[in-house]
A and B are shown apart, each in its own frame.
Chain A
Amino acid sequence: MRLFYLIIICFISNLLPCTVQADVQILRLGIINERKNEPDYMLKLYRDLVQQLNQGLQAQQLKIELVTVSDQTALIEQVRAGQLALIMESTFSGLKLKQEANMQPFLLGWRKGLREYHSVFFTKQDSDIQQINDLKGKTIAFESLRSTSAYALPTAYLTQAGFQILPQGTAINTQEAIQYLLAGDEQTQAYWVVLGKAQAGAFNNGDWQKLPETLRNKLRIFAQTPDILRWLVLLNENMAAAHKTVLTQAFLDLSNTTKGQAALKASLIDHFEALTETDFANLEKAEQLIQFIPEN
């Protein structure tokens, strides 16, 4: 009888390692879909990146699955529900998740060639706007409500400076408020300013450099916001430290391989790097600005 029990125990003990080895932990990466009319845009954008990350995580029985959500609210809800382990977002959006869903920034990403950026306020060359105070009673063109550099940062900056920012047509005292329009994209912001649909516009300094020269020559920058980090990777603060380490290493290793570099490029990201103290200080300043972002 003892021999029988021993055999059973040995059999079960042989099966246990197999079961443990097959138990890969899924880490869901949440991303907001930037293009509403292209539901799979972000999936395609980060598919190669996730695949390369999983290559690095395979040995640690970790696997990242990409999850797209429609907006920041949905993202916060899913983080709170424990369905998302990590997030990739801009500074303002990430800091919002930190505040409301305990997500912790642990890596920064160079995106579109920028490690950090700031928003510039521009107007036509022949405009009488010389400083942000001149924006009173004027209409400014932003990209979209979820844009960090073309909405959140400039509106927070202006609000912090004491201006009232309202959607066009909602201001009662149009001479005191700054009304805004959403152009949908940075170029349209600039065109609208040139064509007079708006008197000023704001987006990040990278987009300014990308404007066509003919267009840019008709504009001038009259103010800018402080710099903020361009792109953040945030982790659930409850994630195991070992996982954090493994993930950190996996993100950092992407730029070490050709395939990883190609995947980064396909994701409009240059590379990831660890946050420095300065970066954290910058994030603290940015957190202060967030409170000035107008509620929509």
Chain B
Amino acid sequence: MRLSLKYALYLSVVNIILLTSVFAISEWLLWHDATRLENELHQQAITEYRQTQEHTLIKTADYLSQRLFNPLYQTQVGLLNRIIDNELKMWLPLERVWVANVEGFVITDGTPENSAFLQTLSVPLDELNAQTAILRSLEHGYFLAFAVKSEQTIAGYVELELNDDALQAAVERQSFSIASTLNQFIDSLRNIGLFALVVILLLTILFSWLVSVSLSKPLIRLRKAAINIAKGNFTHQLAVSSKDEIGDVITSFNIMATDLKHYTNELKQAKTVAESANQAKTVFLANVSHELRTPLNAILGYAQLLQRDHLSPQQQHHGIETIQQSGEHLLTLINDILDLAKMEEGHMALFPVDFHLPNFLQELVDMFRIRAHQKSLQFHYQPSVTLPLGVHADDKRLRQILINLLSNAVKFTHSGSIRLEVHWQADMLTCTISDTGVGIPEAILPYIFTPFQQTGDKYQKAEGAGLGLSITQKLIEMMEGSIQVESVLRKGSCFEFQIPCAQTHYVPIHTTVSPTLVISDICGYETSAAHNSPYTVLLAEKNDLNREVLSALLTDLGFHLLLADSRQQILSAALTTAPDLLIIDLLLPALEGIQTIRQLRTHHQFAQTPIIGVTTASADQPQMALLRSSGCSTFLYKPYTMTELLQCLQTHLALTWRFHANAQAMNLDAIPLEVMHSENENQHLTAEQAEQLHELAQMGDFHALSHYLASLVEANAGLTVLTQELQQFADNFDDTAIIQRVQPYLSQATTTL
């Protein structure tokens, strides 16, 4: 059965039942009210008729009194009988008539027999004489008695009994008329009701049909549309013909169809991308394999060579350097892969800090200016004059972004120049890195940010893993920024990104780059003043190879080393010897590492002992939470470098590394920061300029000083960073800082002089 027909049938049956019930109830109420009304009208008719009848009878008594006076006064019985026969009986429904003489004796009862002759009236004469008439209601009529008199002369008396046949007949006629009228009215109402019922039923059926059609029609349309969608036709949209629930359903269906279309397309695209990514990953694995094999080959090859005795010291040193470079290359490759994995799994977090932006940029510029110079490329750095000194951002990740982009620029540019432009406006930092390199083919351009996608020719592909741009884009997006690229094949490329970067108050200049520790330059350490014996380090490493390397390194540097590879050994060794620092591999079986640390922390003597937890960088969120609650002082993420390990030791044991004599200069901690600035010649203030600024600062004329700084920038853009720093001091009315900052230039001038 069709849906519309089913709805129509249901609605019709329900409506018919309802209407029939309503009609039956109405009919009963009508009958009930009509009966009650009929009885009331009947009683009213009786009452009204009786009142009328009584009034009429009183009048009749008066009339009869006049009419009968003379005959009765003259005792003309015959005439009285004729009057009774011809008049009274014609007018009144007489049951009995007694005409009595003045003595109260009946002289005629109006019948031929006159059987009441000489009988006494039923009503006392005194009572009759006192009243105009006596009227009483009998069970079936009236009793009327009156004296026949004219003025004061009484001719006789009359008693009448009137039956109520006429009354009954009249009332019956009236009741019949009322009942008939009521019945006609009820019949009319019933007929109207029946007609209305039939009409309403027909209308109900029609309405039910229309309702069911109106309900089912959209459903049928939805069904057809659903079939179309099931067949993959997403373009069909249903017209929304109403604003009711059906309209909402159709609207939702259309939205669903649109979303399905959208999601299907997205799925297709995702599938394509996934397939592409999978393909890229396959290619990448091949590349990575090659990438990994290349340095490994070098490492293994040179390792084998070093086992031979006839190598000269120069050849041995070269072989060691090659092994180290190949290892670092492998580490970079692995770090990139780990970063990408972190970002894709959502484990990458930003740690924004306040830092000195011009200095930050200058360090990068210095780094890549050297690299560019090594490839005979020009490097142009063009910062905006509006760059703030202090900004709030994740400097490490921003550095990673710029290094990636600048590294690519250097890598893919064989001649010409590389340009870095930096602008800042409205808390938005814009960096533009352009080169005159090989460019990117237009067909590849859309995929350059895809992970494991490499660009460039086969040779160039071999130099990287294809993760740099992908990591860069994801980092920018994490910072809620965006990146764009324009490239012309064999002409060059231009990458530009924008990230939110709020300005902060003045940030003192300090190096953001930790000095690089060169393990080969370290020969030992100096303990802190409170500790006069070598530090004891407990090392719990499951991997034998790692344990041996670490043991060799730490022992060589002068640490007293304890080894353990189980929970019991750790606890036993720790409680026995009380080491100054513990390095524990947290991935010991069955979480032994974490539980061991927790157990150690319960001992009072290990409450403050530094414990370095070694774990993997790919730990998931629950595991990260577990690690944080383990009680470790810090973590090293595998694969970590020896430098990172040494920095951790330096931090937690407060020791000072001792270097070989020829490597003392590399201890960057001892190098003053100012010397680290490798400012160009055009970034120097002349003695005159420094003197002028010194004088204005001493005078406290900051307004003139600001004008002077602006004129310096206009004359020499290379002074932008310095002048911005000085302007920052001027804005803070810090004349002392200005004087200190320009002091070296004054001294230089003096020395020169």
B75 and A212: CB pair below 8 A? no
Chain A CB within 8 A of B115 CB: yes
| Chain B hits for A183, CB < 8 A | 76, 78
B113 and A195: CB pair below 8 A? no
B117 and A185: CB pair below 8 A? no
Q: Which of B76, B111, B117 contacts A188 (CB 8 A)?
A: B76
| Interface of chain A: mostly helix, strand, loop or mixed | helix
Q: A191-B107, A195-B101 are in contact. Are A214 and B115 (CB under 8 A)?
A: yes
Within B115-131, which residues are at the interface with A (CB < 8 Å)? Answer: 115, 117-118
| Chain B hits for A187, CB < 8 A | 77-78, 81
B297 CB, min distance to chain A CBs, angstroms: 165
Alpha-carbon separation in the docked complex, A197 to B73 (Å): 12
B78 and A212: CB pair below 8 A? no
| Chain B hits for A185, CB < 8 A | 76, 78-79
| Chain A hits for B111, CB < 8 A | 212
| Chain B hits for A186, CB < 8 A | 78
Chain B CB within 8 A of A46 CB: no
Name the interface size band of chain B.
10 to 19
B76 and A195: CB pair below 8 A? no
Alpha-carbon separation in the docked complex, A184 to B77 (Å): 9
B78 and A184: CB pair below 8 A? yes
A180 CB, min distance to chain B CBs, angstroms: 15
Alpha-carbon separation in the docked complex, A48 to B113 (Å): 31
Within A163-205, which residues are at the interface with B (CB < 8 Å)? Answer: 183-188, 191-192, 194-195, 197
| Chain A hits for B78, CB < 8 A | 183-188
B79 and A184: CB pair below 8 A? yes
| Chain B hits for A197, CB < 8 A | 75
B425 CB, min distance to chain A CBs, angstroms: 139
B227 CB, min distance to chain A CBs, angstroms: 104
A213 and B101: CB pair below 8 A? no
B431 CB, min distance to chain A CBs, angstroms: 146
Alpha-carbon separation in the docked complex, A32 to B244 (Å): 106
| Chain A hits for B81, CB < 8 A | 187
| Interface of chain B: mostly helix, strand, loop or mixed | loop
A113 CB, min distance to chain B CBs, angstroms: 16
| Chain A hits for B112, CB < 8 A | 212
A212 and B77: CB pair below 8 A? no
Alpha-carbon separation in the docked complex, A218 to B105 (Å): 15
Alpha-carbon separation in the docked complex, A191 to B71 (Å): 13
Chain B CB within 8 A of A74 CB: no
Q: A191-B107, A195-B107, A212-B112 are in contact. Are A184 and B76 (CB under 8 A)?
A: yes
| Chain B hits for A192, CB < 8 A | 75
| Chain A hits for B77, CB < 8 A | 187-188, 191
Alpha-carbon separation in the docked complex, A176 to B72 (Å): 31
Alpha-carbon separation in the docked complex, A262 to B565 (Å): 161
Q: Which of B79, B101, B117 contacts A212 (CB 8 A)?
A: B117
| Chain A hits for B75, CB < 8 A | 188, 191-192, 195, 197
Chain A CB within 8 A of B44 CB: no
B107 and A212: CB pair below 8 A? no
Alpha-carbon separation in the docked complex, A64 to B78 (Å): 34
| Chain B hits for A191, CB < 8 A | 75, 77, 107-108
| Chain B hits for A214, CB < 8 A | 113-115, 117
* Interface-centre pick from B77, B101, B113, B114 (highest chain A CB count, 10 A): B77
Chain B CB within 8 A of A215 CB: yes
A185 CB, min distance to chain B CBs, angstroms: 3
| Chain B hits for A215, CB < 8 A | 114, 117
Alpha-carbon separation in the docked complex, A214 to B117 (Å): 7
| Chain B hits for A218, CB < 8 A | 117
B83 CB, min distance to chain A CBs, angstroms: 12
Alpha-carbon separation in the docked complex, A195 to B80 (Å): 15
| Chain B hits for A188, CB < 8 A | 75-79
Question: What per-residue 1/0 map shows which CB atoms of A4-20 lie under 8 Å from chain B?
Answer: 00000000000000000
Which A residue's beta carbon lies closest to that of B113?
Answer: A212
B477 CB, min distance to chain A CBs, angstroms: 135
Within B93-152, which residues are at the interface with A (CB < 8 Å)? Answer: 101, 107-108, 111-115, 117-118
| Chain A hits for B118, CB < 8 A | 194
Residues of A within 8 A of B (CB): 183-188, 191-192, 194-195, 197, 212-215, 218
Residues of B within 8 A of A (CB): 75-79, 81, 101, 107-108, 111-115, 117-118
26 contacts between A and B (CB under 8 A): A183-B76, A183-B78, A184-B76, A184-B78, A185-B76, A186-B78, A188-B76, A188-B77, A188-B78, A188-B79, A191-B77, A191-B107, A191-B108, A192-B75, A194-B117, A195-B75, A197-B75, A212-B111, A212-B112, A212-B115, A212-B117, A214-B114, A214-B115, A214-B117, A215-B114, A215-B117
| The 5 A-B residue pairs with the shortest CB-CB distance in the complex, in nearest-first order | A185-B78, A191-B77, A187-B78, A212-B114, A188-B78
